[in-house]
Amino acid sequence: MSRKNKKVKATSLLPMCAAGGVFIGLGLGALMDNLAVVLVICALIGAGVGYAIDRRNGVTYGRH
């Protein structure tokens, strides 16, 4: 019995990284008494890291 090799489509890590940034921002914001600013900054950093990883892995966000 032979199996055909299927090409696995790369999945996006951006939502997971952005969510991780939000949770880190919640913790740091509570420690620094500035929740809103730290939360937004950490979420943006997480989204940027996720986007960079997705670009390197060849994930597309449109109909390509």
Say if 9 falls within a structural domain: no
Domain count of the fold of the chain = 1
Q: Is the pLDDT of residue 2 over 70?
A: no
pTM, two decimal places: 0.77
Say if 61 falls within a structural domain: no
User: Which pLDDT does position 37 carry in this prediction?
Assistant: 94
Is 14 in contact with 52 (CB distance < 8 Å)?
no
Say if 64 falls within a structural domain: no
The shares of helix, strand and coil residues in the chain, as percent rounded to the nearest 5, are 65, 0, 35
Q: Is 51 left (phi over 0), alpha (psi -120 to 50) or beta?
A: alpha
Q: Is the pLDDT of residue 63 over 60?
A: yes
